[in-house]
Structure 1
């Protein structure tokens, strides 16, 4: 399917400059992470004043602790279920030119009533997927009971999809950081990260799983120096529950635990704005959630995606759809070993201990091919229009 220009909406008098973004927090920081990044890009690239309605301010405060002063064009509102309270909030705000409900969250009836009066562009910003059906449905309208049309925005990796969230200066920032050792060391010191590491450096930000004791055994038996920066507590909790590490190990940020040639480091929780620099320091990564997955794509390094599990294994269709496209040009040896381990990580495979080690050694032997393949895929994605560039074209809102 060829990329299309869905130019369906434009402000009539140029006076409407406010966008509303609605977020319900379901998956810890995943939903708020996408909602905040989208809000920032709407403000920065489309020059909109953004009103972010969110039902869990605590999650936002942790992910973006400086949000009150970070982006003055974003106003954060508590999304209240009480209809009278919502009515009072709406009475004090300007009409929006754009309303985005993230991930199918249902808008309050008071908001929809307001929309029937000012008739903004209404988008349902869906979860990222590389499945072909999403490209076919991207930007399609759906007539609602209130007479408004809602358009479905599917982010994805295909040129005809809704694209991915990316800052205009991303590549310049990545290059500057990777070329300046002093900047890297200052970042390590700021967050209490080790100034040195042994062997390959992996960033691991993943969900709790029974696979982690098995993967630690795999890496130990591979007998090559390796350092894991463990972000968040879920992987550590899995290792402690399986008695792979001592009960009092890795309790505090900065704690180190050594298993033969494998060095585990518990790193502090970093705000969203700092996550890219963790990836830029790493040789490879295991990431979870949508926002972290996209940042790993932009970083261009080898990584596994520990995808959020869904009923009936629906997440595996999403996982395979992405990797089948990403690996189209990969060498056969890299592709086979990678997919075996990716499936093993996400509950789709059945590797025994010996086979797991053999597959890892195959992938490790093809390391440079994997590095090159990941970089080439990332460069291809960078060459595509970003989600905000596509949204500007779709909406006729001016792009900065």
Structure 2
């Protein structure tokens, strides 16, 4: 009999939490032969990532996963063998009671946000005793041994490498989005929160001697793009040129297509957690717009990741990339750091590929979760 898994997700900031939990649920069902229910409190946002989802349904199946509306009035359901409380969301009291009533205990995991901070490996897998005879464990994704690793489906890097080695596949995918890239132009994707640095970065690209084509999926940064272009609106498909810079708005695409978008680009600016991890698997230089937290807790996460990511780079290349990331996340001028990044482009591109290969040598997050459960029972 298949082990049953329940994953609980409260949608925060539209896409990050549901993006991670949906990828995880799909992979568990497809690769580990477990029965997965994904409880989501906002199916409208979920529908943007996976258009087949019908927000009006209390329960539906997609990709081998039972997707359930997380209602205010909790229904009587049997607790699963493994319960994942994603990103600090609180389990319903009635569900906790169902967990306590099970004849055999359930494995209760608090899936934490991704961090490269040093303390993570020491806290990964630690128990946290709870009332009513329950106990949960902290489970941390991460970039080093003694963490839970990163979400990565089987064969992902091989598929990426095959796609990137096939110019016709890239051309056809971009054409499906209405994108035609001029010969020799650098292709950049931009998925970000609102950012005061955008105007200066765009100015630098517009003034560059080499052409750049920026693809902007629908999202929060469009307001800043619109202000820089000084236009009244920006609809999907809009193309504007200023100097050496072409800016094009593309649709908000489903997750699998977003991977192809990242694989097609030479440089990817991403935000939050889900797109941040997918950009690392793209094997191209990247820029992370981290989600802001109270008391600047996000800044420590950013610096901790950078320390690992630039470790194999020359001092000059590492400093150029570090300065770019810091400027982007503080709303500062980016022209100088962007120019220095371009000077070190071959080294940064090689480092991006090597970083992905290094991370792929570790167990992926879904596999690590399944192994933790097997060791626990």
TM value normalised by structure 1: 0.88
SS of corresponding position for 2:109: strand
Q: Tell me how far apart the structure 2 counterparts of residues 49 and 189 of structure 1 sit (CA, whole Å).
A: 38
Structural mapping, 1:306-317, within 5 Å = 306-317=289-300
Structure-2 residue corresponding to 1:383: 361
Runs of 4+ deviating beyond 3 Å: 67-72, 195-198
Match of 2:311 among 316, 324, 328: 328
> Where do 1:258-297 residues align within 5 Å?
258-297=241-280
> In structure 1, what is the Cα distance between the partners aligned to 2:258 and 2:61?
16
Structure 2 partner of 1:174: 160
* Aligned counterpart in structure 1 of residue 86 of structure 2, from 91, 95, 102: 102
Instruction: Note the alpha carbon deviations across 1:55-82, whole angstroms, 9 max, x for none.
Output: 0000111111135798442111110122
C-alpha displacement of 1:151 = 0.5
- Tell me the distance in 1 between the aligned counterparts of 2:210 and 2:166: 28
Alignment of 1:1-400 (within 5 A): 15=1, 17-67=3-53, 71-82=62-73, 86-88=74-76, 90=77, 94-118=78-102, 119-194=105-180, 196=182, 199-241=185-227, 244-248=228-232, 251-347=234-330, 350-351=332-333, 356-396=334-374
How far the C-alpha of 1:193 sits from its partner, in A, is 2.9
* Distance in structure 1 (CA, Å) of the matches to 2:307 and 2:235: 39
| RCO higher in structure (CA 8 A, sep ≥6) | 1
Q: Which residue of structure 1 lines up, in the alignment, with residue 57 of structure 2? A: none
Q: CA deviation at 1:248?
A: 3.1
On the 8 A contact 1:222/1:357 being kept in 2, the answer is no
Asked if the contact 1:220–1:259 (Cα under 8 Å) also holds between the matched residues in 2, the reply is: yes
Aligned length in residues: 369
Displacement of 1:345: 0.3
Asked if the contact 2:181/2:187 (under 8 Å) is kept, the reply is no
* Structure 2: distance between partners of 1:207 and 1:193: 23
Show CA shifts across 1:179-203 (max 9, x none).
2333323322333333646511001
- Cα distance in 2 for partners of 1:346, 1:232 equals 20
**Distance of 1:87 and 1:236 partners within structure 2:** 40
Runs of 5+ unmatched residues, structure 2: 55-59
2-structure distance, mates of 1:16, 1:122: 17
In the other structure, the counterpart of 1:9 is none
Q: Which residue of 2 aligns with 1:4?
A: none
Instruction: Give structure 1 stretches of 5+ with no counterpart.
Output: 1-14
* TM-score (structure 2 length as normaliser): 0.93
Q: Residues 189 and 195 of structure 1 are in contact (CA less than 8 Å); yes or no, is this contact kept in structure 2?
A: no
